[in-house]
Amino acid sequence: AQSVTQPDIHITVSEGASLELRCNYSYGATPYLFWYVQSPGQGLQLLLKYFSGDTLVQGIKGFEAEFKRSQSSFNLRKPSVHWSDAAEYFCAVLDFGNEKLTFGTGTRLTIIP
Amino acid sequence: NAGVTQTPKFQVLKTGQSMTLQCAQDMNHNSMYWYRQDPGMGLRLIYYSASEGTTDKGEVPNGYNVSRLNKREFSLRLESAAPSQTSVYFCASSPSGGARQETQYFGPGTRLLVL
């Protein structure tokens, strides 16, 4: 069965600093990978997704993620964070067989002035 | 176009009570899902429906039942609520049960407290 690991439960960065959120996956074939963001009290919004092709994926709100097969990773990055980026971020992998998403446990991002 | 809507937004139940969480989508999606979100656990799939008239168990189905009333609506029922079912429940939908590149769209969630 597939799995997703987000090793950082909570990250704090200063506004304007760069950001990298880690995601490692376990899946037997080429994965379909997603990053979602959840603002406080809200549902989940898709940031970006990787299916195939270019391993550097651009998403909304200035986020990007890089798929690295050799490291089984799909890390999320942003060059300069804004206070509005404070949220919880979830990485997920799609299982081809049953088309179900498996989520990581999430990383909570705090932005300090 | 409201996307995915859920009712109620918040509910308090006593142990043993029953209730139904409602979900509707107006995007003509075939697949619909129910998740629960608990601290430190991420989102876990309870049930899903690949198309109207079909439902299947997810990772944590015990204590729940679902009904795909029509293409738009997918309800989640707790027949006898337990404190362990205190959680935030999210409904989601995706365009096609057969596609490989589908994206799931999430509702705003229902916060359930079982006393």
**pLDDT, tens digit, for every residue of B23-55?**
999 999 988 999 999 988 889 999 999 888 899
A106 touches chain B (CB under 8 A): yes
The residue type of B32 is: M
Spatial distance between the Cα atoms of B73 and B32, rounded to a whole number of angstroms:
8
B40 touches chain A (CB under 8 A): yes
* B8 preceded by a cis bond (ω within 30 of 0): yes
- Please name the residues in contact with A79: beta carbons below 8 A apart, sequence gap of 6 or more: A18, A62
CB contact under 8 A, B41 and A100: no
Chain A positions in Cβ-Cβ contact with residue B48 (cut-off 8 Å): 100
Spatial distance between the Cα atoms of A101 and A96, rounded to a whole number of angstroms:
9
As a whole number, the mean pLDDT across chain B is 91
Model confidence over A72-96: pLDDT tens digits?
999 999 999 999 999 999 999 987 7
Band (B100; pLDDT cuts 50, 70, 90): low
**Is the model's pLDDT at B1 over the cut of 70?**
no
B101 touches chain A (CB under 8 A): yes
Joined together, the tokens standing for residue B107 give 């509702």
Band (B84; pLDDT cuts 50, 70, 90): very high
- Write down the pLDDT at residue A2: 83
**Is the model's pLDDT at A59 over the cut of 80?**
yes
